[in-house]
Chain A
């Protein structure tokens, strides 16, 4: 049970003078239950890549297999694929449209042809999963705060019961607490349901804190595909492609450069705190 990309290439405007080779020979295996971070500078091919994962874009060459089946085979049921691979676009709250929150979340499962009862059960569960209280269910989605709207929009995708959830910058424009709330809820959801999560993000700190694997895109190719600890060791190369390591990694590098023997492959505040505290040569006072 997994998603496999085999030698995927994608060219925009292939038969014109403005052809852009947006994906170059991308090979990836996305097994069940991973929490993956997808990073890369603007225009590196992240969004093109995620649109391939649920068949919105067909590769120019190469194949994509979901659970062993080629998703671009003639008799493949794309509609089912799209319920299994849920894509939450950037600023998903712009896609809210119904007269109340509950109806909006029902829209997806209703269109899958499910019974009214099943649809409503799923909508209820999805809203609970993103932490929307009952009191908001019958309010207009447009009266909610930015963070709440975004969570309702994510619930709309969760109600389809996807096996893979892809979120394109789910925290853009939110305040720090709002960012933490959304990401904590997604992490909890992943723990509880075992769903695969792919998080597209420009925040290295967030990626370092939550994911177990990072895929770095650069100019349409996969530059790194590894655990955060390993990827952020290449902070100089990351800077060259418009990215960075979390600030705490730079702190550890700076300490090491001053001759203090701390590990430099640290990517979160908690790890850094433990590492510095356990360095017994520090005076406590």
Chain B
């Protein structure tokens, strides 16, 4: 069993009108089977309302399944006695950095998690230091979080999660509110956590170019997994993705458009380098 496993996960919620009468039932997650290996970088795509965030909230037991089971490192999330272990092992980062920062000073904010876990003071400081270094924010440790840019705040939020020494971190659109530089900083920090620290990453995003390095991509639609595969496999299916209200990275789209214009290029080009190489090989002048 992998670090995160779901078996026929179903989540339904009851819609009520203003008087509290039942209006109907919405199935937000519909029989999802996931099996994430320790150390993997997983991406989840899907349009607004496809069930991505609802699925993500099951991974650290914010929501519980209506049917089916979720295991985090072998622990069933419905086992109340394991709740704190689960939340410590699977950390979560949300979209808006301003909603996740509570400390007056960066290092204090990052220390909040381990402090609440009862970690000895000396070790808290060690963890704060290593976490801030891991996201490249150590030199800001004495700053006020209010004065940081969006990308910096979001990296502080991530440091706050990794100070709890999770095995897995779930990021729900961490870059949606950031400028291009902020997006780059956050994605770089997340990739480093995965590569260097071996932390399992589950990244939910609407920016296609952020996930070209993922090990596995799941595309959600109407609560179920509509497509799964490596980024190259997924991004080769341009029309299907468009039907699911999604997109492909610009470089992939350009390669696809060139194919449509009759140029013979390989499917699923993901990087500028790949496209340049493919076109250079066709260029007679060289």
Interface positions of A (Cβ within 8 A of B): 40-43, 145-147, 172-179, 202, 204-205, 239, 242-244, 246-248, 250-251, 254-255, 258-261, 269-270, 272-273, 276-277, 281-285
Given A146-B49, A147-B48, verify A250-B181 contact (CB < 8 Å): no
B122 near A: Cβ within 8 Å? no
| CA–CA, A283 and B281, complex, Å | 10
Could you say which of B32-40, B195-203, B246-254 contacts chain A? B246-254
Given A258-B280, A276-B258, A277-B258, verify A282-B246 contact (CB < 8 Å): no
**Which of B95, B177, B183 has the most A CB atoms < 10 Å from its CB?**
B177
Question: For B208, what are the chain A residues with a Cβ–Cβ distance below 8 Å?
Answer: 176
| CA–CA, A276 and B261, complex, Å | 10
Given A175-B245, A260-B279, verify A273-B257 contact (CB < 8 Å): yes
Given A251-B272, A260-B280, A284-B264, verify A175-B285 contact (CB < 8 Å): no
Could you say which of B95, B178, B206 contacts A174, with CB atoms under 8 Å apart?
B206
Contact between chains at B179 and A255 (CB < 8 Å): no
**Which 3 pairs from chain A and chain B are nearest by CB?**
A177-B245, A176-B247, A242-B181
B76 near A: Cβ within 8 Å? no
Could you say which of B176, B262, B283, B286 contacts A173, with CB atoms under 8 Å apart?
B176
| CA–CA, A187 and B279, complex, Å | 33
Could you say which of B176, B264, B275 contacts A172, with CB atoms under 8 Å apart?
B176
Question: For B247, what are the chain A residues with a Cβ–Cβ distance below 8 Å?
Answer: 176-177
Shortest C-beta distance, B158 to chain A (Å), equals 17
Contact between chains at B206 and A176 (CB < 8 Å): yes
Shortest C-beta distance, A149 to chain B (Å), equals 10
Contact between chains at B206 and A205 (CB < 8 Å): no
Contact between chains at A248 and B149 (CB < 8 Å): no
Question: For A251, what are the chain B residues with a Cβ–Cβ distance below 8 Å?
Answer: 250-251, 254, 272, 275-276
Question: For B178, what are the chain A residues with a Cβ–Cβ distance below 8 Å?
Answer: 42, 202
**Which of A42, A243, A259, A277 has the most B CB atoms < 10 Å from its CB?**
A42
Given A174-B48, A176-B247, A178-B47, verify A282-B282 contact (CB < 8 Å): yes
